[in-house]
Structure 1
């Protein structure tokens, strides 16, 4: 398998997802702006989305994939199919129970995660929490299916799946929102419709590889499987290890809910733009590396293991550094061109720009964690990332006290603490890999890094100078011109960056790699 070609394929699918996600958020901002009602929606969605990441994309995937790879490579098809059946039964029943509890306890949950939300906004938040909580049951099955398909190196369907939620939200915001007595409720219903659609698209792909789970009506039957018990044992600590940033984000949501109407929303809009490069590069690389690293570990191939990590880290620096500088330099144009329509005014643009710049400062760390954490999980080492994650969680909240309480940075301080916390996380993960001799850098890193820095600096100067020539909020009445200008600046910046790299001797073949 050509890893660079596979990365390009997954990234292209992820890009479709992120582009449709940005379109979804643009239409949402145009229709609802940044208000207590939009805050209520994002807060209501935060907890089921957090649980999805904790028990699905995060802890579950990292615990499940290495064990699944071990079964597939060493125990045969029948044992692997049995494991998938039992894991699916346990996961689906557990998330159904959690969904029911979330629906019943919605008012208490909302008081706990958003103490600043009150009155009508609180009441609508309770309704939307109840509408969206079953989303985690849908997404748990989707994440399980994605883990299975990725282990069979079927990457395209899992990468494309999030597009369906985006399309659902776009359809509701354009055509069905006017049929709801409370318009914001349409977005909550769209989430559930998108979740069901994501489940449906996985089924044919799983059938094709012979791994469609056979669910049992007995919720406890899966717990008898020793493989399931191994996964659950590793999932507990992995919740903290994988999701430290998500837990911090939940705490930050509570902070933001006390900063006035619209604060949660502008933080969400900035977060969405930060997730664009995170998904295209970080998630895609992590998706490719975890199965390959798990196989190398099962085969006892230490050289291949280290080489895979080196390849992933070089690609991360090559692409994440310019993405971070680009987000910072073009923060105002990006927010204005994507969201400054309808109810989203110039004040909202200014409010969302500051947290986006803060997120950009930590983007490299956020992406590196998605590369470095799988290096531990592929070896079924959960304890080390857990210790690191708990320390980083404490440090992040300490930074909140400094940035928000002492320096008065507001929402931007919340975003900065998340980003710098991720950088700390990445640093400690890297140090742990080096100390254990799991990863040994290949020769040439210093020259590589210096060349990338030169290219990034020149690209950043070009982007900053170009965007400074226009009044981006003032172009609100000329949306096409504003979008064309933004795309032209992005294209110019990319040309400058890759032209400098080419002049310094970089070639695409230098990053070609095949997995064994």
Structure 2
């Protein structure tokens, strides 16, 4: 089973890598053209609001509630049962989302006041952000339908098309920057178009599975009610990190021009390995865990979680070290051009340090939460999410207050640290509960596995510190020289890390079996 999971995770990771690389091309173009000024802050908030809804509702609550119910129907019922469920879910979800989209567009000024209250002191900035939001908000409706289609395809083991779909958004934004690099309105138009194209891209794959029924309203259907009931706690439980990030943006809007953008660019760097590895693994194991639970296979369920945790640590720990120890060179190489000044590089680096410190916490949440949702246990992770969110909010407000009192220019980095802290709290609570309820029991070989990871990461960290150097030296280099230097240092770190693991006895077969000795 774990060999299949590794292969599926590799497919998702490869497609996600393509999307993330294009995402960096997009962000480099945006940073060069718009820097970290007022117009870019306005667009990023207008994009963040529907993205918040996407991660909280589409990829969060809806996917986590829909996939277990659909997988159970698929495993225990007929193909027609699965087709009927999809028809009523598609019709009901589409109708509700259409109403939400209309309300969101009409209430754009109110939403902007809630999510970026600091913009109120700049009438032009607030008006621009409101106009942009009316174009970007419909993205929520289309991407939610896309998430539904992706959940169906993932349940049938079709991971490539859903994983490739985000590429479309990056292509549209890159094209918009080419059309008119001086106007952020074209970026908003591109977001709107990308939502339509992403949903349309899924439809042929559904048709090949004979899962493209005519949508119909089905609010009274028991399975729809079950999905809605499961969604309510997940709306909170699966999206605590997004709520924390939005709180950071809201508070950062009071910290002057640039703070919102610095957090955005740092978050984008952190999301790169998170999306490629952590989210990929979480996406792959959810349908598998749901089927194992439906078949009452507790041992296999625990082994799947065990495999996922090992993979997260194997990739996540060196990724976190890289984000922290190599933050300056990464930011300088990717964004430090044109309108993105050396000060912007420095401020973004501070934020990346804070996000990098929480990377493992974010990653663990991605693979631990499916251990609850696959069993349709939604309230426990919701409670833990609220606790961790409150901890993060308290820290954010404290940091924000101190930044205002003492005029700290790096106050945004403290906000990022608060978000990282909430992720660690959430991950710790989730793991403790799974262990306490004996849903997850660690497999053999964790001691040897941990020692190998420790030694390999020490070697890699030493290499990065030796080769990295200060950010000022990087800013003196041209774009090509920076790219070449980053590439060979990262390659050297990867070779050193996996080479050390190989010397210490870790072999590919250890990654293909869950619960086996490592």
Same fold (TM over 0.5): yes
Q: Distance in 1 between matches of 2:265 and 2:80?
A: 46
Per-residue CA shift, 1:120-156, capped at 9, x if unaligned? 1111001000011110111011000000000001000
Pairing 1:381–2:383 present: no
* Preserved contact between residue 474 and residue 482 of structure 2 (Cα < 8 Å): no
Per-residue CA shift, 1:320-368, capped at 9, x if unaligned? 0000000111111111111111111101100100010100000001011
Hey, what does 2:331 align to over in structure 1? Answer: 335
User: Relative to structure 1, is the Cα distance of residues 300 and 51 closer, same or farther in structure 2, using a 3 angstrom cutoff?
Assistant: same
Pairing 1:20–2:22 present: yes
Following superposition, the deviation at residue 465 of structure 1 comes to: 1.4
**3-state SS of paired residue (1:167):** helix
Hey, what does 1:245 align to over in structure 2? Answer: 241
User: Relative to structure 1, is the Cα distance of residues 227 and 126 closer, same or farther in structure 2, using a 3 angstrom cutoff?
Assistant: same
Q: Distance in 2 between matches of 1:472 and 1:324?
A: 23
Map 1:330-479; keep pairs closer than 5 Å: 330-406=326-402, 408=408, 409-468=410-469, 471-476=472-477, 478-479=478-479
Following superposition, the deviation at residue 472 of structure 1 comes to: 4.4
Hey, what does 1:318 align to over in structure 2? Answer: 314
- Picking from 115, 118, 128, the partner of 1:116 is 118
User: Relative to structure 1, is the Cα distance of residues 194 and 404 closer, same or farther in structure 2, using a 3 angstrom cutoff?
Assistant: same
Q: Distance in 1 between matches of 2:473 and 2:5?
A: 39
Following superposition, the deviation at residue 473 of structure 1 comes to: 4.5
Following superposition, the deviation at residue 213 of structure 1 comes to: 3.9
Pairing 1:265–2:261 present: yes
What's the TM-score, normalizing by structure 1?
0.96
Q: Distance in 1 between matches of 2:103 and 2:486?
A: 46
* Preserved contact between residue 335 and residue 353 of structure 1 (Cα < 8 Å): yes
Q: Distance in 2 between matches of 1:266 and 1:405?
A: 19
* Preserved contact between residue 67 and residue 231 of structure 1 (Cα < 8 Å): yes
Stretch deviating more after TM superposition (367-376 or 221-230):
221-230
Stretch deviating more after TM superposition (46-55 or 136-145):
46-55
Per-residue CA shift, 1:303-325, capped at 9, x if unaligned? 10000000000011110000000
Following superposition, the deviation at residue 403 of structure 1 comes to: 3.4
Following superposition, the deviation at residue 469 of structure 1 comes to: 6.7
Map 1:500-515; keep pairs closer than 5 Å: 500-513=500-513
Q: Distance in 2 between matches of 1:452 and 1:474?
A: 33
- Picking from 37, 61, 65, the partner of 1:59 is 61
* Preserved contact between residue 63 and residue 234 of structure 1 (Cα < 8 Å): yes
* Preserved contact between residue 87 and residue 215 of structure 2 (Cα < 8 Å): yes
Q: Distance in 1 between matches of 2:400 and 2:506?
A: 42
User: Relative to structure 1, is the Cα distance of residues 186 and 451 closer, same or farther in structure 2, using a 3 angstrom cutoff?
Assistant: same
**3-state SS of paired residue (2:438):** coil
Q: Distance in 2 between matches of 1:243 and 1:469?
A: 36
Hey, what does 1:92 align to over in structure 2? Answer: 94
Q: Distance in 2 between matches of 1:63 and 1:183?
A: 39
Following superposition, the deviation at residue 195 of structure 1 comes to: 1.2
Q: Distance in 2 between matches of 1:205 and 1:514?
A: 31
* Preserved contact between residue 340 and residue 473 of structure 1 (Cα < 8 Å): no
User: Relative to structure 1, is the Cα distance of residues 306 and 193 closer, same or farther in structure 2, using a 3 angstrom cutoff?
Assistant: same
Following superposition, the deviation at residue 402 of structure 1 comes to: 3.6
Hey, what does 1:193 align to over in structure 2? Answer: 193
**3-state SS of paired residue (2:117):** coil
**3-state SS of paired residue (2:7):** helix
* Preserved contact between residue 94 and residue 145 of structure 2 (Cα < 8 Å): yes
Pairing 1:139–2:178 present: no
* Preserved contact between residue 3 and residue 514 of structure 1 (Cα < 8 Å): no
Following superposition, the deviation at residue 406 of structure 1 comes to: 3.7
- RMSD over aligned CA atoms reads 1.4
Pairing 1:229–2:225 present: yes
Structure 1, unaligned stretches of length 5 or more?
none
Following superposition, the deviation at residue 446 of structure 1 comes to: 2.0
What's the TM-score, normalizing by structure 2?
0.96
Hey, what does 2:11 align to over in structure 1? Answer: 9
Following superposition, the deviation at residue 471 of structure 1 comes to: 3.8
Misfit runs of 4+, over 2 Å: 401-409, 469-476
* Preserved contact between residue 16 and residue 276 of structure 2 (Cα < 8 Å): yes
Q: Distance in 1 between matches of 2:371 and 2:274?
A: 18
* Preserved contact between residue 321 and residue 364 of structure 1 (Cα < 8 Å): yes
**3-state SS of paired residue (2:118):** coil
Per-residue CA shift, 1:171-218, capped at 9, x if unaligned? 1112x115xxx70111111111111111111010000111124223xx
Per-residue CA shift, 1:224-252, capped at 9, x if unaligned? 21100000001011100000111111111
